[in-house]
């Protein structure tokens, strides 16, 4: 009997991973070249810039990072004096993180670059494709939920 074949190039998990990896790699050049940030550091900066003040746990949830990544990213941004920690008054295990002026400046510099990157990508697609990518990513996320 013929062995059943899997075509890797069109296998969804592979396809998706390769695309995301390529996009992420391309985008990472921006924050790497600009500020020497790693992806966890960029996400941390981004999360705090967006929300203002967050705990490490909240950061991990928002940006889908393991707590060790968060811990290390926060440590590095603190070393740069891009963020400060404020102990919670009621629960002494918790720290509230917030960007300093320098951190906020870096964030404000990055935001337009990030939007421009995303814009350039979307610009090269038709309007229908733009809708399709957003909605089908959501659909697939939903499909994965139940597994």
Q: How far is CA 73 from CA 38, 42, 79, 124, in A?
A: 8, 8, 10, 33
Q: Does 95 bind DNA (CB under 7 A)?
A: yes
Q: Does 138 bind DNA (CB under 7 A)?
A: no
Out of 3, 92, 93, 127, which residue is the one contacting a second copy (CB under 8 A)?
3
Q: Return the H-helix or E-strand segment holding 53.
A: strand 53-54
State in angstroms the smallest separation of the CB of 50 from DNA: 17
Q: Quick one: three-class SS letters along 23-44?
A: HHHHHHHHHHHHHCCCHHHHHH
Report the residue number, 22 or 113, with the smaller CB distance to DNA: 22
Stretch binding DNA (CB under 7 A), from 11-19, 92-100, 103-111, 129-137: 92-100
Task: Give the whole-angstrom CA distance, residue 76 versus residue 39.
Answer: 12
Query: By the criterion CB under 7 A, which residues form the site for DNA?
Result: 38-40, 55-58, 66-72, 74-75, 90-95
């Amino acid at each position: 009997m013929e062995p059943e074949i899997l075509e890797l190039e069109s296998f969804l998990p592979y396809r998706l991973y390769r695309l995301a990896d390529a996009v992420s790699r391309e985008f990472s050049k921006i924050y790497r070249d600009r500020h020497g940030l790693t992806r966890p550091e960029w996400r941390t900066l981004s999360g705090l810039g967006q929300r203002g003040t967050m705990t490490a746990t909240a950061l991990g949830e928002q940006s889908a990072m393991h707590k060790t990544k968060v811990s290390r990213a926060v440590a590095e941004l603190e070393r740069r004096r891009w963020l400060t920690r404020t102990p919670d008054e009621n629960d002494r295990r918790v720290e509230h993180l917030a960007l300093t002026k320098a951190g906020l400046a870096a964030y404000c510099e990055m935001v337009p670059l990030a939007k421009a990157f995303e814009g350039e990508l979307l610009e090269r697609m038709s309007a229908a494709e733009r809708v399709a990518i957003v909605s089908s990513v959501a659909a697939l996320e939903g499909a994965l939920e139940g597994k």
